Amino acid sequence: MYEQLMEQVVSRENATKAWLAVKRNRGAAGIDRMTTEQLRDHVRAHWDSIQAKLLAGTYVPSPVRRVAIPKPNGGTRMLGIPTVQDRWIQQMLLQVLQPIFDPTFSEHSYGFRPGRGAQDAVRAAQNHVKAGKEWVVDMDLTKFFDRVNHDILMNRIGQTIRDKRVLRLIGNYLRSGAMIEGVVVASEEGTPQGGPLSPLLANLYLNPLDHGVNDPTAGQARPSSQNRLRRWLWRKHGKTRALWSDYPDERLQTQYGLWSLPEKAAWKHP
């Protein structure tokens, strides 16, 4: 159990590393319109106050700026753009939490993980094909980031992290709300896409699902899209058999508060 993490989060070395990451990644401004170029001077002027609030567990994040991004196949994806200061603090959290949680993730999970990516998932899938596995199950989780249950997610984090300041800060980010046409709209579920912490929280939320569909006799690879789950199946005794640990909608809804998208579910030959 990790009970004293906030001191690591606010260490000078970790804060500097996070600032460099935010500067390198650039990104749009949040509701206060502060740019990444302005962050260094802002931090120098206000670091003592920010650090004190984080250590005391009283820091309150700003609402995100809601932005609609067009999808290639139509429709839009809603992003929540945190302020640059909050992106920096989220990055500080990420750098401390990721080494704790990443080793617990499924070896078949490739999305948003250090040293892993879509190309690694493709190579794993190719190896499964060479090994004689001939079928793919393609399943999409609809509006995943919008439907993450806060209680389920915080319970999973709390099983490992016992520093109440860190837990409170993550909970505050989940509930920070969004600024829409000048009005702050509360967020009762979901985790906004757009902040450095969101991918790790998504992997934490789906980790039991990743392990649950794993079978030692069948290969699988979940690529970088957090909404997509692919499972490689095999042909046995000359007949096609779908050896799939089934996760129907009822189970997804009960355990995860998620829904699959039937029109995107398919059986395919690789």
Locate 173 and state its tokens.
């980010």
The residues pairing with 133 across neighbouring beta strands, listed in sequence order, are: none
Mean pLDDT of the chain, nearest integer: 81
| pLDDT tops 80 at residue 240 | no
Locate 71 and state its tokens.
């999808």
pTM, to two decimals: 0.81
Confidence band, pLDDT 50/70/90 cuts, at residue 264? low
Cβ burial 223-260 (10 Å sphere, 16+ → b, else e): bbbbbebbbbbbeeeeeeeeebeebeeeebeeebbbeb
Handedness of CA 204, 205, 211, 214 (dihedral sign): negative
pLDDT per residue as tens digits for the range 86-118: 999 999 999 999 999 999 998 888 888 999 888
CA distance 28 to 110: 26
Q: What is the pLDDT of residue 160?
A: 97
Q: What would you measure as the largest C-alpha separation in the chain, in angstroms?
A: 70
CA distance 101 to 199: 12
| pLDDT tops 80 at residue 255 | no
Q: What is the pLDDT of residue 71?
A: 77
**Pick from 126, 108, 140: nearest CA to 270:** 126
**What's the number of CA atoms in the CB half-sphere (13 Å) around residue 62?**
21
pLDDT per residue as tens digits for the range 215-226: 444 444 444 433
Contact between 190 and 148 (Cβ < 8 Å): yes
Average pLDDT of the segment spanning 63-82: 83
